[in-house]
Amino acid sequence: MSEEKPGEQVDGGKARVFPCEGCGSDLEFHIGQQDLKCPYCGFEKQLEFADDATVAEQDFHAMLVRMREHHHKDRQDETGQSEISCSSCGGTVQFQGSLTSTECPFCASPIQLEDVHDAEHRVPVDGVLPFLVEKKAASKNLKAWVESRWFAPNEFKQRGVLGKFNGVYTPFWTFDSMTFTRYSGERGEHYYVTVRDGDKVKQVRHTRWWPVSGSFDRFFDDILILASEGLPRTLMDKLAPWPLEKCVPFTQQILAGFYARTYELELEPGFGQARDQMESAVSAEARSRIGGDEQRVHSCQTQYSAVTFKHLLLPVWLLAYRYNGKAYQVMVNAATGEVQGERPWSWVKILCLIAAVTTGAGVIALLNR
């Protein structure tokens, strides 16, 4: 018999809320205290976890089999649209796309879809990294980030980013795999020959090539893959590293008061992206093992075994803003405070610098700021 979930189901079991035992309002996750707290009366409630709950690795191939077994069954489309009646004010709350946790647009009460993150035909969430950076700290980090953008317009730096932070739990896959690689190629070693050209003497470089082959094992741990299609992958990748050791077993209580999304990138193509990263690392190691001044790689065959994964929700502060009519997006790693985002450029500053700086290296170094 499954253990009863914390909170209460509403609207005929389609959604879940966490009522305050003090005043009847809705509890929200409190970042500073890492528990549930009522924003009105201050009542606090500790998070509840099952006795045997752990953030454990899952067998990748076994999960693929399970997903295929449920592929043809009738199910709710989590990437469609659902309407839920708010238990606090009776207003209609719309869940569109991959959204699973939000707030009522009329009374701001937090509400979540029921049985999405652990539905039978969906890969269940294994763990959650709770929000650790409060909104005030995220705003402070964003201000410092804006001020450090040397090539941003002065008006933008003085005014700062105007917008509202939204806390969003974002889906990720992590993959582990043991690999065994056989490689063959050639190691090139440079040598120089003195050549006379009339009165001139010069050194001409040549290369001797030697056949090389070998094999090696390598274990990959927690290759992180963004499972949401709605966020810029390049910027999200730059938010790393994440303190994954601070993840806790999944519970809907942690999502209370925040937005959350379910995955759109399925498990199998997610591993495909992870494998691309592993193959790149394996290829680089094969070249390193071949050694020499140059390398020719003729073959590099890798076998993957003991593949496991975790389905995690990681916290991000998202902010969208406009400057001179153009939309930009900024995000803050809500576990470390790292800021990444889009920003406007001052082409006047860039052109002035190009005119003043004679070396391209100096321009490139400053443009990275």
Residues 6 or more apart whose CB falls under 8 angstroms from that of 367 comprise 151, 350
Strands 110-113 and 8-10: unpaired
Find where tokens 């290759």 sit: 223
Per-residue pLDDT tens over the stretch 167-225: 999 999 999 999 999 999 999 999 999 998 888 899 999 999 999 999 999 999 999 99
Closest CA to 92 of 103, 101, 104: 104
Query: Is 50 exceeded by the pLDDT of residue 77?
Result: no
Contact yes or no for 175/161 (Cβ under 8 A): no
Helix axes 360-367, 347-356, angle to 10 degrees: 150
Of 158-167, 185-194, 237-246, 316-325, minimum mean pLDDT range: 158-167
- Predicted confidence band of residue 247 (pLDDT cuts 50, 70, 90): very high
Query: Is 80 exceeded by the pLDDT of residue 62?
Result: yes
How far is it, in rounded angstroms, from Cα 315 to Cα 260?
9
Residue environment code for 325-349, b if the CB has 16+ CB neighbours within 10 A, otherwise e: eeebebbbbbbebbbbbebbebeee
Predicted local confidence at residue 1, as pLDDT: 38
Query: Is 90 exceeded by the pLDDT of residue 157?
Result: no
Q: Any idea what the Cα angle at residue 264 is, between residues 263 and 270, rounded to 5°?
A: 85
Instruction: Give a three-class secondary structure readout of the chain.
Output: CCCCCCCEEECCCCEEECECCCCCCECEEECCCCEEECCCCCCEECCCCCCCCCCCCEEHHHHHHHHHHCCCCCCCCCCCEEEEECCCCCCEEEEECCEEEEECCCCCCEEEECCCCCCCCCCCCCEECCCCCCHHHHHHHHHHHHHCCCCCCHHHHHHCCCCCCEEEEEEEEEEEEEEEEEEEEEEEEEEEEEEEECCEEEEEEEEEEEEEEEEEEEEEEEEEEECCCCCCHHHHHHCCCCCHHHCEECCHHHHCCCEEECCCCCHHHHHHHHHHHHHHHHHHHHHHHHCCCEEEEEEEEEEEEEEEEEEEEEEEEEEEEEECCEEEEEEEECCCCCEEECCCCCHHHHHHHHHHCCCHHHHHHHHCC
144-148, 260-264, 302-306 — most confident range:
302-306
How far is it, in rounded angstroms, from Cα 216 to Cα 51?
41
Per-residue pLDDT tens over the stretch 271-295: 999 999 999 999 999 999 999 999 9
Arithmetic mean of pLDDT over the chain: 85
Residues 6 or more apart whose CB falls under 8 angstroms from that of 162 comprise 321
Query: Is 50 exceeded by the pLDDT of residue 22?
Result: yes
Predicted local confidence at residue 76, as pLDDT: 46
Predicted local confidence at residue 182, as pLDDT: 98
- 333 vs 328, residue with greater confidence: 333
- 153 vs 311, residue with greater confidence: 311
Q: How many residues does the chain have?
A: 369
Closest CA to 226 of 166, 173, 262, 272: 173
